[in-house]
Chain A
């Protein structure tokens, strides 16, 4: 407790030192309220209407809107980048986990992962735009590279947190490293791997707004355009669309992870578990019963 207090006080001292003159903050809140009322709110929902050009040939107008086209492209980029990133991150994370690989393998693997995540995806996007020109391809490569570095680190740390007993049994039995990784480490850490995978997908969707700013495609490209045109009410509307998609991904993540966790641990999501506190939502949705087989011997 003493250490936490000391760190908090130190942080406050540095913060105060960095701000310097608190007087310059006067009037800031009023400025924000004016900006919010005049430029941000209400959001301009015309982003959900069909664009005037090209002519919309869809039956539903929404499918030709800026929000739909941008979000779908962002989700596509994020999906491809997350999937490819996962495929490359998985073997690297097995090599980097020091309970699965010897040190001479783990250290180079960690260096590769650190190098890949030390550049933010926006910098990777700039580099790949030099190679592939402005557009979706640069966005996919940028996100994939960052995903490998970031996801790889999360995954090898999960694997290092595995219980010893299954790994020791495997070692004593004479299982190879590949067998131990494939048949023990991956299924045993499945909950964390899926959680990280879904988090990374959500992160990449959110980050689609950022790398789009440098021309790497997706909804960010539209946000960038509206920012340049100072149409902030449309920017807010697009950001709310991104927010809704992020909430939906969180919903999906809970549903997927509930398949690899003990019943009652991560519950299948419902409207109440998403929007209400646990104490209230439990009145509407009860925890499913355990299977009859688990009662035996108890």
Chain B
């Protein structure tokens, strides 16, 4: 039986005015959800609201995941630290698996090193582990952001167009790794995606945003 990880009760989202209203959805373990809709309709705002970065205008969001490390977030601009190496960026994912009292200046405990190396290996970035992220291409940076989330092992992953700028081969590598992580952790993924064909290939649920409403579509 898959547990419910998040529950949105009659949620309205937006900044000053509502972008999407009356959202009533559940997210369970094993879900891979793709959010589709035109630009500026509120897809990113929905992810940011679920992540807790902004508050819903009304309604309630219940998250049944740990507040530290339970949620993995890959923003549209990836949120990497350009001056740090690939390894240091990926390590940040593992760092939130430590106790919140683990001193920030201390190196990570040894048992996390294998997870970090494995995440980099799966995403094909092990050979550039010591390079600063700022000199990498857009596609390589997307793989680093994904590896950071894989090393984090979160229960719920929110990814905003994280497959953009990747060629077909890399999309397959990234999605295979993310799927494997979700299966291993029995977690869930919500991804904003512009390419409908790709979304339907990788997701088992589709949320379409239309006329300020979230409509769940059946994936054939």
Contacts and interface: CB of A to CB of B under 8 A. Distances in A.
Interface of A: 163, 165-176, 178-179, 181-184, 187-188, 190-191, 260, 262-263, 290-291, 293-298
Nearest to A175: B96
Determine the main DSSP class of A at the interface with B.
helix
Interface of B: 48, 51-53, 66-84, 88, 92-93, 95-96, 100, 103-105, 128, 131, 134-140, 152, 154, 158, 165-167, 170
Contacts of A165: 75-79
B93 A173 contact: yes
B37 to A, nearest CB: 21
A296 B137 contact: yes
B137 A295 contact: yes
Contact of A173 (B80, B82, B140, B152): B152
Given A165-B76, A294-B136, 11 more contacts: A165-B77, A173-B71, A174-B69, A184-B81, A184-B92, A187-B81, A187-B88, A188-B82, A263-B135, A297-B140, A297-B170
A291 B139 CA distance: 16
B95 A171 contact: no
Contacts of B79: 165-170
25 contacts: A165-B75, A167-B79, A168-B75, A169-B74, A169-B78, A172-B72, A173-B69, A173-B93, A173-B96, A174-B66, A174-B69, A174-B100, A175-B92, A175-B95, A176-B100, A179-B95, A179-B96, A183-B88, A183-B104, A184-B92, A293-B131, A293-B136, A295-B137, A297-B166, A297-B170
B135, B158, B165 interface centre (most CB from chain A within 10 Å): B135
A170, A183, A290 interface centre (most CB from chain B within 10 Å): A183
B131 A172 contact: no
A70 B106 CA distance: 41
Nearest to B145: A169
A99 to B, nearest CB: 13
A170 B92 contact: yes
A170 B75 CA distance: 11
Contact of B131 (A167, A182, A291): A291
Given A182-B104, A296-B137, A172 B53 contact: yes
Contacts of B170: 297
A92 to B, nearest CB: 17
A294 B136 CA distance: 5
A273 B170 CA distance: 41
B98 to A, nearest CB: 9
B135 A294 contact: yes
Nearest to A263: B135
A293 B92 contact: no
Nearest to B100: A176
B47 to A, nearest CB: 9
Nearest to A290: B135
Leading 10 A-B pairs by shortest Cβ distance? A169-B79, A297-B139, A174-B68, A172-B73, A165-B77, A165-B79, A297-B137, A178-B104, A172-B51, A182-B104
Contact of A188 (B74, B83, B158): B83
A182 B104 CA distance: 7
A145 B99 CA distance: 36
B81 A297 contact: no
Contacts of B69: 173-174
Nearest to A190: B83
Contacts of B154: 173
Contacts of A173: 68-69, 71-73, 92-93, 96, 152, 154
A150 to B, nearest CB: 24
